[in-house]
Amino acid sequence: MKHRKQRRTLEGQENTLGWVFSAPALFAILIIVLIPLLRSFAQSFQQLDLARPAGNGWIGLGNYFALLKDQRFLNSLWITVRFSLISVLLELLLGLSIALLLNNNFKGRGFVRGLMILPWAMPSIVNAAMWKWIFNADYGALNAFLTQVGLMSAYKVWLSDPFWANALLIMANVWKEAPFTAIMLLAALQTIPTHLYEAGRVDGANGWQRFSRITLPLLMPVMLMVSTLQLIWGFQTFELITVITGGGPFSSTEMVALRVYATTFRSLSFGYGSAMAYLVFLVILIPVIFYTRESYKRIIDY
Amino acid sequence: MRKIFAIVFCFVLVLSACAVPAATPAPAEPTKAVEQPAQPAAGGSITVIFPKHEADIKGAYEARIRQFEKESGITVNLIQSDWDSVANRVTPELATKGSAYDVVEFDNGWIAQWCGAGWTQPLDEYLPVDYSKGMIPGLVNLFSCPDGKVHGVVWNNDTRFFYYNAAKLEQAGFAQPPATWDELVSQSKEAIGKGVIKFGMAPSWNQEWSLGNEFHFWTYVFGGNLVDDKGCVVLDKDPNTLKAVQFMMDVLKDGTADPAGLTYNQAASQDIFLKGDSLFLPQGIAGLFSYVKDPAISKVQDQIKTGLVPATASGTSAALTLPEAYAIPIGSKNKEAAAKFIVYMTSKETNKYLAEQIGVLPIWTDLFSDPDLTGLYPYWKDFQAQLSTARGLSKITWYSDFVDLTNAELHKALAGGQTAQEALDNMAKQLAKFNCVP
């Protein structure tokens, strides 16, 4: 009885200590994140046009209903979803391939691992400016390379074609983000006990079977986590689009972050822009809820 | 409890991932922003934000500002960047009546909106009596609001002029620049056919703010209109506007214009001209010769001349003027010091200094005949004829929305995604909610 009381007191003290140490960070989140979030959420139910304040006021769900009919916004949402899903898929494939390669022992592995993270460490704006020059129709390296190896006979204006503009933006994004996926999967690969593979070999499993029955299932939690993060980051993509295409050609690469920015800070429609942001949040919330539920299921299982 | 906390935490993380981005500038180009930290001084300090002048490769404006600091004792916290970055900072700050800036860029495209919204301080009580006497009257009146007061003083008389590569034109067999657009097309085709040049012109038709400028320019040179004096949309009904858009599409299709122009901004377009890859630059800055003479930038020294913007067969020449002014935000806490800055930087002495250094066009009428300047810039006499044809952007309170909505449709037409008439009809449809709003 005395021991139980002592244990409860100790636990209580640990809980209090935990709250004390978390308090500064929670306070920062409250002031810097939560209050502005709640304020912009309230704005999303208002007509808040700073350029034309005469009509400002509470309109309830008016902004949200208008958004569901706003073809330009829906188009930007579709472009963003497509961009993010394809990017995540390619980042997973490329990241996994690189991680599997780097999981092997070879001379210079440490150097290659360090070099590989450079694209991800590069500031987004630098990455965007670099790719803009590579894709330049008159002087870019892409055109020069493809014509010199004989794959093209004349230079192409890649960024004036909606299909190619989207494809090349995805390529630029994957180039930057895949190393993060690779590093996370590499770390996860190294936690897989080697005796599982040995047991698999003993049981007669071939390379593909060891990969699909041992490696993939054990990597799944990390892949899920990385995919969710990359999906959220995909939705946030802003510098890449702004610098390389500006949303063109004719808004075919205009992603939702750029649309929200233009609506809020160029057209000064803060209410409408806030509603856009929260509608996008709802779209991303679905996979995040799925991921959180799956993660908790695994924790309970363990 | 932990589960609830974790879910709330994830909720907040995702919300912050999707929330409206902070008001940081969206760089169209990774231009270096010059930001100087404020220093305490006896005369106080002010924060000034305006775009870097396109011709200012020497840092002449900053040098003049530092001279102002020495003479006035007022410290200037200077923020200079590309136009889009400045616009993205200034507009939200003024809309919220903030006090972050004391002197701001006041673009000619914003006049109607800012006058209507009351975002700027009338300057009449701060400027010396008859201060603007001697300035180009059109520029003074342009930045006056319906209240009859001056709200901005011009720092950049940004009228655009027609330049051509005379040496390559002569190589192609032409002694004179084109007088009409049809002649421009035929001269371009001849020059391209002879291998003298790659393109007749490399337009700056990327889907960004300046495409709105281009839309105005081409409409004007074809004698068209976009919006009338009452703010009513006429672009879909004006046959000359249709001709203008069709011409823009045709020159891309027939090779007169570099198709990569669909992805170029003004700087890229100018760069191609200075490399000698295009024959004509229909909308060049007044200070282009500063770049032309610089061997680090230009391969066409001594090849470039200026002429009148071509006209249609039945029309007259036209040019676009995009003057920019200094204004004081209504929220500024240093209006007196800000006004002193404006007076200094727009004075005749400063205007002459900047003209000598980087070839900026004067805002004071008699500087056009100043012997020191005309000796340096003999081509100014060629500019005189064009200046009288200059027209500004549409004066509407919804100009930002106009650019946002028309750019996408225009770009689609230029890329071959719709016809010129379809583009104009779609623009009119999307602008319907602003129609006849002044």
Mean per-residue pLDDT, B418-433: 95
* CB-based contact, A173 to chain B, within 8 Å: no
Q: Which of B14, B95, B397 is closest, CB to CB, to A284?
A: B14
The phi and psi torsions of B326 (rounded to 5 degrees) equal -95, 140
Instruction: Return d(Cα B384, Cα B368) in angstroms, integer.
Output: 9
User: Which residue spans within B119-243 are E strands per DSSP?
Assistant: 153-156, 161-165
pLDDT of residue B24: 38
pLDDT of residue B34: 43
pLDDT of residue B113: 87
Angle value at C-alpha B192, between B189 and B195, nearest 5 degrees: 150
Interface of B with A in 63-122 (CB under 8 A): 87-88, 91-92, 95-96, 113, 117
> Does residue A211 register a pLDDT over 60?
yes
Distances (CA, A) of B287 to A70, B159, B217, B251: 43, 10, 19, 27
Structure confidence by residue, pLDDT tens digits, A99-149: 999 998 888 888 888 888 899 999 999 999 999 999 999 889 999 999 999
| Least confident interval from A7-11, A25-29, A118-122, B362-366 | A7-11
Instruction: Return d(Cα B405, Cα B42) in angstroms, integer.
Output: 48
The complex's ipTM?
A: 0.75
> Please, what's the b/e burial string for B227-246 (b: 16 or more CB within 10 A of its CB; e: otherwise)?
beeebebebbebebbbbbbb
* Domains by residue range for chain B, with CATH: 25-158+322-391 (3.40.190.10), 161-320+398-434 (3.40.190.10)
3-class DSSP assignment, residue B391: strand
Domain A70-301 adopts which CATH fold? MetI-like fold (1.10.3720)
The phi and psi torsions of B176 (rounded to 5 degrees) equal -120, 150
* CB-based contact, B1 to chain A, within 8 Å: no
State whether A137 and B15 contact (CB < 8 Å). no
CA nearest neighbour of B376 among B350, B364, B358: B358
CA nearest neighbour of A98 among A78, A75, A115: A115
pLDDT of residue B354: 94
Our CA-based measurement puts residue B243 at a distance from the nearest CA of chain A, in whole angstroms, of: 20
Q: Which of A53, A265, A281 is closest, CB to CB, to B92?
A: A265
pLDDT band at B342 (very low <50, low <70, confident <90, very high): very high
Helices and strands (DSSP H and E) totals, chain B:
17, 11
* CB-based contact, A285 to chain B, within 8 Å: yes
pLDDT of residue B21: 43
Q: Which of A138, A265, A284 is closest, CB to CB, to B23?
A: A265
State whether A245 and B400 contact (CB < 8 Å). no
B324-327 and B153-156: which strand pairing? antiparallel
> Does residue B126 register a pLDDT over 50?
yes
Q: B26 to chain A: which residues are within 8 Å by CB? A: 238, 242, 258, 261
Mean per-residue pLDDT, A49-72: 91
pLDDT of residue B151: 94
> Does residue B297 register a pLDDT over 90?
no
Q: Which residues pair with B51 in a beta bridge?
A: B81
- What is the token pair recorded at B291? 């770049």
State whether A266 and B88 contact (CB < 8 Å). yes
| Least confident interval from A162-166, B21-25, B169-173, B407-411 | B21-25
* CB-based contact, B45 to chain A, within 8 Å: no
Our CA-based measurement puts residue A93 at a distance from the nearest CA of chain B, in whole angstroms, of: 25
- What is the token pair recorded at A88? 């995540």
Instruction: Return d(Cα B96, Cα B98) in angstroms, integer.
Output: 5
pLDDT of residue B388: 82
Share of chain B above pLDDT 70, in %: 90
Instruction: Return d(Cα B344, Cα B63) in angstroms, integer.
Output: 13
Our CA-based measurement puts residue A105 at a distance from the nearest CA of chain B, in whole angstroms, of: 38
* CB-based contact, A274 to chain B, within 8 Å: yes
Instruction: Return d(Cα B87, Cα B98) in angstroms, integer.
Output: 15
pLDDT of residue A66: 95
State whether B95 and A268 contact (CB < 8 Å). yes
Mean per-residue pLDDT, A174-181: 96
Alpha-carbon torsion (B200, B206, B210, B215), positive or negative: positive
Q: Per-domain residue ranges for chain A?
A: 70-301
* CB-based contact, A20 to chain B, within 8 Å: no
Q: Which of A173-177, B205-209, B312-316 has the highest mean pLDDT?
A: A173-177
Nearest chain B residue to A287, by CA: B14
Task: Spell out the alpha helix ranges (H) of chain A.
Answer: 2-28, 35-43, 62-69, 71-102, 109-116, 118-121, 124-134, 141-148, 162-189, 194-202, 207-210, 216-236, 239-244, 256-261, 270-301
Q: Across chain A, which distance is largest between two alpha carbons, in Å?
A: 87
* CB-based contact, B271 to chain A, within 8 Å: no
What mean pLDDT value characterizes chain B? Answer: 88
pLDDT of residue B7: 58
> Does residue A32 register a pLDDT over 70?
yes
3-class DSSP assignment, residue B156: strand
Our CA-based measurement puts residue A242 at a distance from the nearest CA of chain B, in whole angstroms, of: 6
Instruction: Return d(Cα B364, Cα B372) in angstroms, integer.
Output: 14
Q: Which of B20, B260, B400 is closest, CB to CB, to A266?
A: B400
* CB-based contact, A243 to chain B, within 8 Å: yes
Mean per-residue pLDDT, B48-69: 92
Q: CA torsion, points B103, B108, B114, B116, in degrees to nearest 10?
A: 150
Q: Which residues pair with A49 in a beta bridge?
A: A269
* CB-based contact, A140 to chain B, within 8 Å: no
> Does residue B13 register a pLDDT over 80?
no
The phi and psi torsions of B161 (rounded to 5 degrees) equal -130, 165
Q: A53 to chain B: which residues are within 8 Å by CB? A: 117
Q: A261 to chain B: which residues are within 8 Å by CB? A: 20-21, 26
Q: A40 to chain B: which residues are within 8 Å by CB? A: 19-20
Whether A152 and A146 have beta carbons less than 8 Å apart is answered as yes
| Residue of A71, A133, A266 best to disrupt the B interface, most CBs of B under 10 A | A266
- Tell me if the bond preceding B282 is cis, omega within 30° of 0: no
Question: Which residue type occupies A108?
Answer: G
B45-51 and B103-107: which strand pairing? parallel
* CB-based contact, B5 to chain A, within 8 Å: no
> Does residue B288 register a pLDDT over 50?
yes
Q: How many of the other CB atoms lie within 10 Å of CB of B262?
A: 26
Half-sphere exposure of B69 (CA within 13 A, CB side): 19
Calculate the CA A264 to chain-centre distance.
Answer: 22
Q: A126 to chain B: which residues are within 8 Å by CB? A: 30
pLDDT band at B20 (very low <50, low <70, confident <90, very high): very low
Our CA-based measurement puts residue A135 at a distance from the nearest CA of chain B, in whole angstroms, of: 10
Q: CA torsion, points B120, B207, A253, A240, in degrees to nearest 10?
A: -70
